[in-house]
Amino acid sequence: MKKILTLILVSALGGIMTLSAYKIFMEEDGQIQMTTSTDSTLSYFPTSSKAVASYGTLNVPDFTEAAANAVHNVVHVKNTTISRAPMTLQDLFMGRNTERAQVGTGSGVIISPDGYIITNNHVITGAQQISIALNNNRIYTAELIGTDEKTDIALLKIDADEDLPFATFGDSDQAKVGEWVLAVGNPFNLTSTVTAGIISAKSRDLSGVNAQSFIQTDAAVNPGNSGGALVNTRGELIGINTAITSQTGSYIGYSFAVPSNIARKVVEDIMEFGNVQNGILGVRGGELNSKSAETFEVNVTQGFYVSDVEERSGAEKAGIRKGDIIKKIDNITISKFSDLSGYLSTKRPDDVVNLTLIRSGSEKVIPVTLSKSEISTVDFLDMQLRNIPSNLKKSANIAHGVVVIKNDNYALYKSLGINRGYIITEINDQKINDVDDIIKLKQKYGDDIEKNLKKLSIINSSGQKESFIFK
């Protein structure tokens, strides 16, 4: 019994000693010192610690319904051009025909049940015969209704014996960067093919002269897909696939589409007027960034700086001034010139747009009625002429004339050297003040204007005055 009590006492004493040692060495001021390390580094950037769900639980878009509809709206376009090669002696002796048929292919999109089809202008350029193959393998001969080289859009028509499936236009202005899209084409005359991607950017200009406003995507598009459809996840048409950037001629990651709002306006103009009606704002200037802001001496780095206003234009009538900075047109934010030019491509003369601009540090909203292009430009003798900007008149001390902005008249270029930037001051000893005087000459002489051209006075690119007499 004594041994048992002794053993119990020793055990209790050992426990008391162990607890006392723990209190002395492992605790300080009554707080337990944990051995687990804690990262106390401060973060200066917003950080999310939320775990990413596994791929299988993500809400992945379902493209099947959009694709099922779109493939039947897209057609194969084949254009045939007859070229004539020089006849050789062998051709002559063997009686061979030197005409050769050259075939080009692309895609198109049916936009109405009665057979109107939209495609690219470059797909059917020079074609003597155009045939359309539907997704159900039926083939039709197409009629060319009209084209617009500037936007690379063409309108075709086929006569089918039944209503055709057709694409519904979406609002390309509402398309967002990062939004899923499908590119649908029929490049091989098999059946329509579908590729998926996202919108990489909007208002892209590949020309370098602010003449384009493409939607950029990373959906795979190859040359035979030109003229095909770019659709959103609802199957709405938001673009016409047009171009790729590639050194090999094949897709390498970027493709470009004409926005549906521009394409729809072009085909509606062709159907109603026979040509494209362009609404002119009537301002000149440049997009703002850090460098141009210094040049224009403003402290704003985003928007469009107005350096000059066209005489008699809607902008002048609305009171737009030099030095105004256009921040928005309707609900479209202007960060580069192609934002402005792209939106104006969807408008016609006499349409009203609301400009949100900054003037003297204050924001204003001014409605502007768009003008006809004829107020500033006119085609004459295969040249495109426009009024001289008022700031150029002042700086160059030019009293009157019109400036050449394009010359497709090979004879005038070859023999006289008339090129872009030349100023025509007199025709047949009649002073030319502006494009209205050119329009009056065209009305006076009609189609015989070239025969009636006797004298042309110009100011060349060096500022020298010259006169040419025609016999």
Active-site residues: which are they? 122, 152, 226
How far apart (Å, rounded) are the C-alpha atoms in residues 318 and 331?
19
HEC states along the chain? CHHHHHHHHHHHHHHHHHHHHHHHHHEECCEECCCCCCCCCCCCCCCCCCCCCCHHHCCCCCCHHHHHHHHHHEEEEEEEEEEECCCCHHHHHHCCCCEEEEEEEEEEEECCCCCEEEEEHHHHCCCCEEEEECCCCCEEECEEEEEECCCCEEEEECCCCCCCCCCCECCHHHCCCCCEEEEEECCCCCCCEEEEEEEEEEEECCCCCCCCCEEEECCCCCHHHCCCEEEECCCCEEEEEEEECCCCCCCCCCEEEEEHHHHHHHHHHHHHHCCCCCEECCEEEEECCHHHHHHHCCCCCCCEEEEEECCCCHHHHHCCCCCCEEEEECCEECCCHHHHHHHHCCCCCCCEEEEEEEECCEEEEEEEECEEHHHCEEEECCEEEEECCHHHHHHHCCCCCEEEEEECCHHHHHHHCCCCCCEEEEECCEECCCHHHHHHHHHHHHHHCCCCCCEEEEECCCCCEEEEECC
The torsion region of residue 18 among left (phi > 0), alpha (psi -120 to 50) and beta comes to alpha
Beta strands 371-372 and 193-204 are unpaired
How far apart (Å, rounded) are the C-alpha atoms in residues 470 and 459?
17
How far apart (Å, rounded) are the C-alpha atoms in residues 458 and 462?
11
| H or E segment and range at residue 290 | helix 290-296
Q: Is 275 helix (H, G, I), strand (E, B) or coil?
A: coil
Q: How far is CA 380 from the centre of its chain?
A: 29
CA angle (23, 29, 35) in 5-degree steps: 65
